Structure 1
């Protein structure tokens, strides 16, 4: 029942918070925060119940409830190591994002209960995608999550283009989802009416119901799924919605958008695309690797030229997803495990970076880099956390993203040296855009216009210290000792790679060695 509770608690909580009168914003905030913390506790409970022993079942804590018996459709939940760390990330980042938005809504002058209800609805739908053990159920929640995010960007975002950004985000993702729907129907027909994921792929020594064989049908079905996942991820060249959405969304929601929601695309590639369409995955792998490497370099160059802080952070994430895509499609244990760790660690680092940028922009009332300069003189603690988050995002040794990026490049180098070398250039470019951003905003000549703003003289408050501290600690802890999350994900990665004939999971050292 614990997986049902993880999804149901924030979903029911969203309804409860939505019923709070608009005139009682503090009641809505505290109720939403309590529900989010309780959801995080349930996620931690699932981690405690998970069996990490060698030879344990691939999909665990499974639950099945009849849905539409005539079609043999069920509400099926299940979790593997990859989904588990993303559920923990979602559960931990959501209350932090809520605390980050605690005071920011005063400037928007819109319903506070509605904002927090939408945030809980978003959390519930994201958790449901990670926990779905049914392909159709996954598709439904894959599309449902667009609704709360659309309103969070369009109604609570900033800037004159927030409505444009919200519509663009919705249309991109919705159209991609339509391609996936066609592919889902194709899978149902080809498998003889099966939607259950374990039955389709033959998980845990079952006989696979989906027997496509190499050929055009498998290729087309793969492309239907992959297009939806590549847009969600976002991979180059399907990325153009992210800078607009990330730039317009409230900083706390942008942290959830880039820190969690985008991971659903790469998670789904591992969960659905590789086991269901292994021959097609191998056929298109060179193209995806090329897209990933281009994305790393292109996004880094564009980030260097950005003048808006939130758009700059959004472009850095496109580069990071290039590393994740590279790690998945070179088909080695080291690289694939590093890619999964990258999903988690990127959520921590970029979530922190977006939240700190949000603190800065709310004080200044602008996200334009040119409106800052010398801010560290009056905001030393905020500047320090800003620098730390930036260094973590460029994978400085000692921070969690370094471990994942190193594993990806190690695995890639073992099978494709030129690609790994070109991808490594992205690290150099990352140093350029992060240090340039910090220098222009926090160092250099003091922008005297800042002296006229009392908020720019107020350093981190107790609330702000409390919400950034867990992320800073986690980034450092997993930077120096990543073994707990490696132990969590590596068995699931190994199961996934067994479907790829060209993969050699033992070709490079695993994180256990």
Structure 2
């Protein structure tokens, strides 16, 4: 069974169904979308159960599907070969499963949408298909198609269903992402004419061939056989930098982060969930799979600077979160801080650091879904999320407060939850990097740990200001009646997310068994190949 194609194109089938249904069936759109997400979650369970942990090495992809797609003769340039090529390994499988879980949460949260339901759910399902495709694609051209396909739905979902400044936020998001994508396309073209299929001899977009230095054409612009320059800059370093910036915008890494708070504040709750839960993870996935995978020499060369960007993101994001009075913007900046750990773990080039970074992506996807949904709960009731306008919510909304406390304590790294394991492994890997490969100094691990202290400060301070003390609301008695406690549908979303984070914190082997073989082999191969190429090229 072609499970990857099914999980990708299932939303497209139901998207067409929504388009064909007349307006009098508008209430069905929600159920169709939720049903699609639940079916995807079921397929994700099948993939998880069917994934062969023993065969998951650095180049061992499973559930592979490969069909010729665009094959053309280019005359003197040879043949153009673009394949419909899908597969997953221990890096992409956890993120694909996370995507299915987050899309269920976003579909439930979409019940708040009241206007133009056909347009909203059509765009929602199109974005769903694109996100799934990004984590499965093994042909760079196909990857780019899915990557760009996310941009248009997100632009309209923010710009049409967002807050008062939605047009500004949507345009800012669009321009930032497009800026990175356009230059990335130039590098993709350069890579295409630098790599040949070892069997057919044709130029190829095959990502696996691009990750093998033996397949680069001698003398080609990105070939690691000698230093080639573009505008006086070594071509491989420039190619790495361009693709890194494109994905760093998605992560987002400071200083490419400024679109995120605006997009989160203006986006409706389900789109905020997808932005934090999945879009940021696509950035991290792209950095490890493509930047490091294709340019390991540049990754090792720039490892100190990448680690430094991670530390800056951790501390800068946390300090900004501490200063925020808008609850949603505070959580948005906390995402910048927490994703900084991902960059720090990747830069360490250690198995524990990389495993911790990937687990951090999964953990943050779960917890950010909880956090943004909790903000949406209170905003939908009184249309306010300004922290000083609330006090004493714990006595007024006890169930809501309980889930906020779980999400806050889990996010700041309380032992027993997934974020604790993720951040601990990331910092251990960073600390060991100096003795294992001498890439990152130990002070980076110490500086990164300060981010955990700052996260405790802004989460606990928010908890103290909003939920404890004498009950007092800016809206007075009107708010007291509107601020009802959690409904059954809200329990249905929050409880599984909390239990999932707790389960991964107590039984992290559920994640590590899936990913460890791939990540251990990948890190070793990337470091050894990168070091060998660096010694040859001598940048």
**Which category of TM-score, normalised to the shorter sequence, fits these structures?**
over 0.9
- Please report how far the alpha carbon of residue 117 of structure 1 lies from its aligned counterpart in structure 2 after TM superposition: 2.0
Shift in CA distance, 124/185, structure 1 to aligned 2, threshold 3 Å: same
Match of 1:463 in 2: 489
The answer (yes or no) to whether the contact 2:84–2:139 under 8 Å persists in 1 is yes
- Residue 387 in 1 paired to residue 405 in 2? yes
Which stretch shows the higher mean deviation, 218-227 or 441-450? 441-450
Taking structure 1 as the reference length, the TM-score comes to: 0.93
Which whole-Å CA distance do the structure 2 matches of 1:23 and 1:13 have between them? 17
Which whole-Å CA distance do the structure 2 matches of 1:394 and 1:58 have between them? 35
Q: 1:76 aligns with which of 76, 85, 93?
A: 85
Match of 2:63 in 1: 61
Measured against aligned partners, the alpha-carbon deviations of 1:399-425 in whole angstroms (never above 9, x if no partner) come to: 111100000001111123111111111
- Residue 261 in 1 paired to residue 247 in 2? no
Match of 1:184 in 2: 188
- SS state at 2:384 partner: coil
Which whole-Å CA distance do the structure 2 matches of 1:166 and 1:219 have between them? 32
The answer (yes or no) to whether the contact 1:21–1:113 under 8 Å persists in 2 is no
Q: 2:211 aligns with which of 201, 208, 211?
A: 201
Superposed, 1:280-319 pairs within 5 Å as: 280-319=298-337
- Residue 489 in 1 paired to residue 501 in 2? no
The answer (yes or no) to whether the contact 2:252–2:260 under 8 Å persists in 1 is yes
Which whole-Å CA distance do the structure 2 matches of 1:181 and 1:450 have between them? 54
- SS state at 1:176 partner: helix
Which whole-Å CA distance do the structure 1 matches of 2:401 and 2:476 have between them? 15
Which stretch shows the higher mean deviation, 217-226 or 442-451? 442-451
- Please report how far the alpha carbon of residue 461 of structure 1 lies from its aligned counterpart in structure 2 after TM superposition: 0.8
- Please report how far the alpha carbon of residue 208 of structure 1 lies from its aligned counterpart in structure 2 after TM superposition: 3.6
Mark the runs of 5 or more structure 1 residues left unpaired by the alignment.
505-513
Which whole-Å CA distance do the structure 2 matches of 1:503 and 1:194 have between them? 22
Q: 2:168 aligns with which of 164, 183, 189?
A: 164
The answer (yes or no) to whether the contact 1:59–1:80 under 8 Å persists in 2 is yes
- SS state at 2:469 partner: coil
Superposed, 1:101-140 pairs within 5 Å as: 101-102=110-111, 104-106=112-114, 110-140=115-145
Shift in CA distance, 447/34, structure 1 to aligned 2, threshold 3 Å: same
Match of 1:349 in 2: 367
RMSD: 1.7
Match of 1:508 in 2: none
- Please report how far the alpha carbon of residue 371 of structure 1 lies from its aligned counterpart in structure 2 after TM superposition: 2.1
Mark the runs of 5 or more structure 2 residues left unpaired by the alignment.
73-79, 197-202, 218-222, 228-233, 435-440, 532-539
Match of 2:108 in 1: 99
- Please report how far the alpha carbon of residue 8 of structure 1 lies from its aligned counterpart in structure 2 after TM superposition: 0.7
- SS state at 1:53 partner: coil
- Please report how far the alpha carbon of residue 52 of structure 1 lies from its aligned counterpart in structure 2 after TM superposition: 0.7
- Please report how far the alpha carbon of residue 55 of structure 1 lies from its aligned counterpart in structure 2 after TM superposition: 6.1
Q: 1:499 aligns with which of 511, 526, 537?
A: 526
- SS state at 1:397 partner: coil
* Equivalenced residues, count: 496
The answer (yes or no) to whether the contact 1:214–1:279 under 8 Å persists in 2 is no
- Please report how far the alpha carbon of residue 113 of structure 1 lies from its aligned counterpart in structure 2 after TM superposition: 2.5
- Please report how far the alpha carbon of residue 14 of structure 1 lies from its aligned counterpart in structure 2 after TM superposition: 2.1
Match of 2:498 in 1: 472
Which whole-Å CA distance do the structure 1 matches of 2:368 and 2:240 have between them? 30
Q: 1:339 aligns with which of 357, 366, 370?
A: 357
Which whole-Å CA distance do the structure 1 matches of 2:345 and 2:225 have between them? 25
Measured against aligned partners, the alpha-carbon deviations of 1:46-100 in whole angstroms (never above 9, x if no partner) come to: 2222211156662111111221111211111010111111111111111111112
Q: 2:247 aligns with which of 207, 229, 246?
A: 229
The answer (yes or no) to whether the contact 1:372–1:450 under 8 Å persists in 2 is no
The answer (yes or no) to whether the contact 2:300–2:530 under 8 Å persists in 1 is no
Q: Which has the larger radius of gyration?
A: 2
Match of 1:30 in 2: 31
Which whole-Å CA distance do the structure 2 matches of 1:254 and 1:491 have between them? 33
4+ aligned runs moved over 4 Å, structure 1:
54-57
Taking structure 2 as the reference length, the TM-score comes to: 0.89
- Please report how far the alpha carbon of residue 114 of structure 1 lies from its aligned counterpart in structure 2 after TM superposition: 2.0
Shift in CA distance, 173/227, structure 1 to aligned 2, threshold 3 Å: same
- Please report how far the alpha carbon of residue 213 of structure 1 lies from its aligned counterpart in structure 2 after TM superposition: 4.0
Measured against aligned partners, the alpha-carbon deviations of 1:282-334 in whole angstroms (never above 9, x if no partner) come to: 11111111111011111111111111111111000000111100000110000
Q: 1:439 aligns with which of 452, 464, 483?
A: 464
Which whole-Å CA distance do the structure 2 matches of 1:18 and 1:244 have between them? 31
- SS state at 1:74 partner: strand
- Please report how far the alpha carbon of residue 259 of structure 1 lies from its aligned counterpart in structure 2 after TM superposition: 0.7
Match of 2:443 in 1: 418
Match of 1:510 in 2: none
The answer (yes or no) to whether the contact 1:364–1:450 under 8 Å persists in 2 is no
- Please report how far the alpha carbon of residue 182 of structure 1 lies from its aligned counterpart in structure 2 after TM superposition: 0.7
The answer (yes or no) to whether the contact 1:296–1:423 under 8 Å persists in 2 is yes
The answer (yes or no) to whether the contact 2:37–2:100 under 8 Å persists in 1 is yes
- Please report how far the alpha carbon of residue 220 of structure 1 lies from its aligned counterpart in structure 2 after TM superposition: 1.2
Shift in CA distance, 79/21, structure 1 to aligned 2, threshold 3 Å: same
Superposed, 1:365-376 pairs within 5 Å as: 365-376=383-394
Shift in CA distance, 213/443, structure 1 to aligned 2, threshold 3 Å: farther
